[in-house]
Each structure stands twice: as C-alpha cells, then as structure tokens.
C-alpha cells in the first residue's frame, strides 16, 4: 500500500504543477495569443505535405505574438480597394460649377454684382463678376472637383 500511496502522491504533485502552469499561461496575454496562433495553424485544411513542413511550429521560438499586433498588409490592400479616382468619376460639369459659383456669389459678393464672363481652363472654370459701373471685378475659380478659389 505504501508504494501505491507514493505513486498517487507523485501524480498529484505533477498534476498540481501542471495546473499552476496552465493558470499562469491563462493569465498571460502573450501566451494566449501564441496558443491561439498554434491552434489556428494546426487546424489547416487541405494543405499539401510540402506546405506543412514549411509551416511547422517552432515550439522553442521565443517571440510570441502580441494581442495588439495587426497585419499591415491587410490595411494596404483595403486602402487600394477604396481609392477614389477624382479625375474621372468626381469631376463636375459646367452646369454644376455654375451653380456652385452662383451660390458663392450670392453668399459672399454684394447684390449689385452680376456675372460678366465665364472661361474654361484645364483645371475648372473661371467666373468674373462685376458691379453695375464695371469698376471692380470679383474673380471666382471653381476646380473640376468643385473647390472654390478666389
């Protein structure tokens, strides 16, 4: 009976050490991230044998994945998917630029100014507003993207 009791005591000590080790691992974020990474790599499906040898886990690897690490390649790919080409789809036509210029003139130029001349440039439209006696002129430029410059 004493050998049996010694054996059971030895097993109890080993299980206690394992339980303490698991509690330490469970409270460490870096260790949890590494365990998560290990589980995900072991669950790979339909991977050829050549790939499995390349992706074999290095258990002695000191570097562990931080919980805050982000894959930077994903951000770059998403950035290019949502890029807007301003030269084609967002350019305003002449009528839209005219409306923008008229609203600007109504809000920022006196009532006695009227539209004198419109000229088209490579980057947009130029509008010249003058008052009744033609002594002062206000120049308003609208780019093809609808940006107002004086």
pLDDT, tens digit, for every residue of 11-58? 999 999 999 988 887 788 777 778 778 877 766 544 545 555 555 555
* Burial per residue of 32-48, b for 16 or more beta-carbon CB atoms within 10 angstroms, e otherwise: ebbeeeeeeeeeeeeee
pLDDT, tens digit, for every residue of 58-114? 555 556 556 556 565 555 554 444 444 544 556 788 888 888 888 888 887 766 777
> Cβ–Cβ contacts within 10 Å for residue 114, how many?
11
Evaluate if pTM is beyond 0.75: no
Q: What is the C-alpha separation between 111 and 128, in angstroms, rounded?
A: 14
pLDDT of residue 84: 47
pLDDT of residue 82: 47
């Amino acid at each position: 009976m004493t050998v049996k009791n010694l054996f059971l005591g030895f097993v109890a000590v080993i299980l206690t050490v394992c339980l303490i080790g698991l509690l330490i691992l469970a409270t460490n974020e870096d260790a949890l991230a590494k365990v998560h990474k290990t589980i995900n790599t072991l669950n790979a499906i339909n991977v050829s044998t050549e790939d499995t040898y390349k992706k074999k886990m290095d258990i002695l690897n000191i570097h562990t994945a931080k919980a805050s690490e982000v894959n930077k390649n994903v951000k770059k790919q998403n950035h290019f998917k949502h890029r807007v080409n301003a030269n084609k789809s967002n350019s305003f036509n002449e009528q839209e630029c005219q409306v923008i210029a008229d609203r600007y003139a109504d809000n920022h130029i006196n009532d006695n100014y009227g539209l004198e001349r419109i000229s088209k440039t490579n980057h947009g439209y130029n509008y010249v507003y003058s008052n009744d006696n033609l002594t002062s002129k206000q120049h308003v430029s609208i780019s093809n993207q609808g940006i107002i410059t004086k």
